[in-house]
Amino acid sequence: MYADLETDALEALAARLEGDFNAMKARGLSLNMARGKPASDQLDLSMPMLSSVTDPASCTADSGLDCRNYGVLDGLPEAKRLMAVFLDDTPEHVVVGGTSSLTLMYDALVRCCLFGTDGCAPWNSLAQVKWLCPVPGYDRHFAITEALGFQMIPVPLTDEGPDMDLVEHLVRDDDSIKGIWCVPQYANPSGATYADTAVRRLANMECAAPDFRIIWDNAYGVHHLFDDVERQDHVLDIAAACREAGTPRRYLKFASTSKVTFPGAGLAALAASPDNLDEIRRHMGVATIGYDKLNQLRHVRFLGDARGIARHMSRHASILRPKFQLVARKLDESLFDVGDCRWSNPKGGYFVSFDAPEGCASRIVELAAEAGVTMTAAGATWPYGCDPRNSNIRIAPTLPPLDELDEALDVFVCCVKLAYAQKLLASRS
C-alpha cells in the first residue's frame, strides 16, 4: 500500500507515475467518462420505433382516437399500461407525461412550493424547507432542490438504501424536512439497490411534516446488466409499502424510457395515490392540453409489454456488460496495491461510484482533464457540489466504445495513483 512505502520509494514511484502521465498527455487524447449517456449502438436498437407511426392509419389509438390531434391529458390507456411496468404499479395509478422524468419531478416540487399539497401550506410560504439527500447521489436531483432554495441535508447511502436510523431520527421532530430523493434500484452513482427493510422503514417512519414526500425515482428499474442469478430483481414497491403503513400519500414514483429508447425523446411517467393523482391532474390540466400521444403510440408498439421491455433491455445489457466488466477488471488489477480506494461493482444502472483516498478527488479529475479525459466534476455527487472528504468520483462508462473506455481507464488509474502519491509526499514534507 502506498501509505506504507518509505519516502524514498514513494518519491521514486511518484516520478515514474509522472513520466507515465506525461506520456499519456502527449497522446492528445479526447475521451469522455462524464455523463451517463447510452452509446450510439444502444440508440440504434430503438430505430425501428421511429417507423411504427408513419401514415394516418397508424396514428390511431386502441380507442379509435386520432393521436395527431389534441385530447387526453394524462396518457393513452395503452401508454399507461406500458409505463405501469416501469413504475411497478397499475395503469390506473399512472400519469404519462412528456419526455423527461426530471421535468415531472421538478414540476411536482414546484407545485408543492406554489400551491402546497394535501391541504398543507405552500412550501414557499415557510421560513425554511429542508430536504434529505442520500449521498453519493444524482447531481441533477440536487440541482432541483438547490434551485428551489431547500436546505439539503446529506444522508449516507449504504448498500441497502439510505442510513435509515439517521433518516428516522431527522424526520421525527423537524417538520421543515419535507422529503427525500430516492433512486431505489441501481442508484446513481453507486448502483445500490434498496433492501425491503429500508423501503418499509421509509413508508412507516414517523414524520413531523404531514406533507413529507418520498421522490421515488426508479430511473434504472429495468436496467439489469446480468440476466438472472446475480441480478437484484425486484425492489419492494413503495406504493404498496405506504398503503400498508397507512401513509398512502407519502410517495411519488417516477420513471422514463430515456435509457430504454432515446434520451430526450422517450416517455416519462409518474405513479401516485388517487388523492395525489387528482391534485397532479388538476394542476397539469392548467399547464398543458396534453402530451405527445404519437410518441406514446410509438413506444407502445415498439416495446409492447413487460416481456418486450425485458427483451429490449437484455440487448442493451449485451452492449453495456463488457464495459462494466472492463471497469471492474481494470480497477481491480491496477489499484489493488494502492490502498484507501473503494469502488462499486453494480449489477445494473449506468454508473460506478469511486471513492478516492481522502482529499484526492478534485486533483484526480483535474489531472484526467489535463490528459484529455473528461470526468464528472469532483463533488458533483454531493449537495452543493461539496464532498466534505473530497473523495467521491462518478465513473460513467456507457458512452465510449470499449477501446476508448480502456484508454480512458488507463488514464484514470494513472491519475488516481499520481494524485495519491503526491498527496502522501506533501503530507510528509
Ligand X SMILES: Cc1ncc(COP(=O)(O)O)c(C=O)c1O
C-alpha cell at 230: 446475480
In the complex, minimum distance from the CB of residue 82 to ligand X, in angstroms, rounded to a whole number: 15
Residue placing its CB nearer to ligand X in the complex, 190 or 391: 190
Tell me phi and psi for residue 211, to 5 degrees. -105, 30
- As a whole number of angstroms, the distance between CA 248 and CA 250 comes to 6
- The DSSP secondary structure of 211-275, one letter per residue, reads T-EEEEE-TTTT-BSSSSTT----PPPHHHHHHHHT-TTSEEEEEESTTTS-TTSS-EEEE--HH
Which residues sit opposite 260 in a β-bridge? Answer: none
As a whole number of Å, the end-to-end CA separation of the chain is 19
User: If we measure between CA atoms, which residue out of 96, 127, 121, 124 comes closest to residue 110?
Assistant: 124
Helix runs in 28-163, H state only: 40-44, 77-87, 101-115, 139-147
Which CB sits closer to ligand X, 183 or 414? 183
Nearest to ligand X of 99, 276 (CB atom)? 99
> Count of H helices and E strands in the chain?
13, 13
Q: Which listed range, 63-71, 95-103, 112-120, 277-285, lies at the site for ligand X (CB under 6 A)?
A: 95-103
CB of 19 to ligand X, least distance (A): 37
Q: Write down the least CB distance from residue 78 to ligand X, Å.
A: 20
By CB under 6 A, residue 217 contacts ligand X: yes
- The mark string for 264-303 relative to ligand X (x by CB under 6 A, - otherwise) is ----x-----------------------------------
Among 193, 256, 295, 344, binds ligand X (CB under 6 A): 256
Binding mask 139-178 for ligand X (x = CB under 6 A): ----------------------------------------
Residues 213 and 273: beta-carbon distance below 8 Å? no
Residue placing its CB nearer to ligand X in the complex, 113 or 396: 396
Confirm if 391 and 355 have CB atoms less than 8 A apart.
yes
Fill in the DSSP letter of residue 112: H
The only residue of 258, 273, 296, 353 in contact with ligand X, by rule CB under 6 A: 258
Span from 94-102, 242-250, 302-310, 399-407 in contact with ligand X (CB under 6 A) = 94-102
> Is 46 a residue that touches ligand X (CB under 6 A)?
no
* Site membership for ligand X, residue 192 (CB under 6 A): no
Contacts of 286 (CB under 8 A, 6+ apart): none
Contact in structure between 115 and 283 (CB atoms under 8 Å):
yes
Binding-residue total with ligand X (CB under 6 A): 13
Q: Is 398 in the site for ligand X (CB under 6 A)?
A: no
> Given the complex with ligand X, which of 357 and 400 has the nearer CB atom?
400
Q: Is 219 in the site for ligand X (CB under 6 A)?
A: yes
Asked whether position 36 contacts ligand X by CB under 6 A, the answer is yes
185 is a contact residue toward ligand X (CB under 6 A): no
Residues that bind ligand X (CB under 6 A): 36, 100-102, 138, 183, 188, 217, 219, 256, 258, 263, 268
